Amino acid sequence: MTPAARAGDLAIETRALTKRFGRQLAVDAVDLAVPTGSVFGFLGPNGSGKTTSIRVMLGLAAATSGEVSVLGEPMPGRLARVLPQVGALVEGPAFYPFLSGAANLARLDTADRAAPWRTRKARVDRALERVGLSNAARKKVSAYSLGMKQRLGIANALLMPRRLLVLDEPTNGLDPQGTREVRALVRSLSGEGTTVFVSSHLLAEVEHMCTHAAIMSAGRLVAQGTLDELRAGESRVRVRTPDAAAAVRVLVAAGLPAAPEPVPEDLGDRAGDPWVSAPLELPRSGRVAPAEQGNWSAGGQLGGGALPEELVAALVAAGVRVRGFEVQNTSLEDRFVALTGEGFDVVR
């Protein structure tokens, strides 16, 4: 262990990391800070530069400019010292199709000169067991399904005890059961103090597993922080009422900067009663449990100090005909879409 293994330092840090392929800027001045001990979600749509960043962090590709340090050491300068402590799944699993699963792991293990040969077989068996592949260990990888290859790829990252795991899209191709097992695995590894860096384009996955996240879009880092920080400040309370002006007055009196929502033009007469909405601040204390996302109903303290039920009571008392009321919690998805743009099109 390096003396740098203090609490509060960074497992991965990039400063103005830039990678250019010809005229295309794949990664554009990214300043990433992955705290030691976190489960860090690296989010972004396809082609946003996630895998390229990972390749640079692991010394597979050279940065055009900027600096990277992993586990407190500069990369790729101290690659030989750093990488034995890092387990990685980069851009999908890759194996020799003509070798068995166990033989593949043994082969890749020989490439790590810090890996003791005496324990190789035991470590391979243990890694296979952890990903549920013990029964397929002697089967050739050419006979593996996509999900089995994915499991084998994760097993490869677990061959040695690691301080940092970099998992690029770890649940790709896995069935729901496999996805669940990966989450449990990540949780258990994290519990043992391993920092886990997970890239994904699946928001739900990050919301379920991670403590921190960063969002990439078109090569740029557009947000990073704890999940709560990323979601914070974006909640809204919405009131559906024909008495919009009165509702706005009541809410403003309660300390919320309310405003009527514009009526979507294409709805015309079918739009019905107008909505009045106001931003709320999420309760900052503690993380909102993922299971409660989307139907947040607990009586947490809202922005102006008012509880939702008090707002409803105030509205009714003021004679506002409340025909609908909801508290919208910002999901990470809202944030993600707001930051990266909505469409299906690959930006570049």
Partner 1 sequence: MSDSQPAPGGTSRGAPDTGGAIAGIAAAAQSASATAPARPLGAWALLVSELNVLFRRRRTWALLLALAAVPVLIAVAVRLSSREPSPGRGPPFLDQVTQNGLFVAVTGLIVSIPLFLPLTVGVVVGDTIAGEAGLGTLRYLLVAPAGRVWLLVVKYLGAAAFCLAATVTVVTAGVLAGLALFPVGPLTLLSGDTIGLAESFGRALLIAGYVTVSLLGLSAIGLFFSTLTVVPVGAMAATIVLSVVTQVLDSLPQLEWLHPWLFSHYWLDFADLLRQPVDFSSFGANALLQAGYLLLFGALAYGRFLTKDILS
Q: Residue numbers of the site for partner 1 (CB under 8 A)? A: 1, 55, 58-62, 79-81, 83-86, 88, 90-99, 106-117, 119, 126, 129-134, 156, 160-163, 176-177, 179-181, 183-185, 187-189, 191-193, 208, 289-291
Task: Report, in Å, the least distance between residue 91 CB and partner 1.
Answer: 7
CB of 190 to partner 1, least distance (A): 11
51 or 217: CB nearest partner 1: 51
Strand extents, DSSP E, the chain: 10-21, 24-30, 33-35, 39-43, 65-70, 73-75, 86-89, 164-168, 195-200, 212-217, 220-226, 235-240, 259-260, 275-280, 324-328
Of 180, 217, 197, give the one whose Cα is nearest residue 25.
217
**Angle value at C-alpha 42, between 38 and 46, nearest 5 degrees:** 165
Residue with Cβ nearer partner 1 (287 or 321): 287
- Smallest gap from residue 147 Cβ to partner 1 (A): 12
Q: Which is nearer to partner 1, 120 or 238 (CB)?
A: 120
CA distances from 265 to 8, 101, 269, 278 (A): 51, 59, 9, 21
Write down the least CB distance from residue 300 to partner 1, Å.
20
Backbone angles phi, psi at 331, to 5 degrees: -85, 165
SS3 39: strand
Phi-psi category of residue 16: left, alpha or beta, with phi > 0 → left and psi -120 to 50 → alpha: left
Q: Which of 20, 131, 120 is nearest to 65 (CA)?
A: 20
**Identity of the residue, 176 or 262, whose beta carbon is nearer to partner 1 in the bound complex:** 176
Nearer to partner 1, 85 or 340 (CB): 85
* Helical ranges in the chain per DSSP H: 50-57, 79-82, 101-110, 120-130, 146-157, 176-191, 203-209, 227-231, 244-253, 308-317, 332-340
Cβ nearer to partner 1, comparing 179 with 277: 179
**Closest separation between CB of residue 307 and partner 1, Å?**
26
Residue closer to partner 1 by CB (options 158, 237) is 158
Least separation in angstroms between CB 173 and partner 1? 15
User: Phi first, then psi: what are they for 207, rounded to 5°?
Assistant: -60, -30
CB of 81 to partner 1, least distance (A): 6
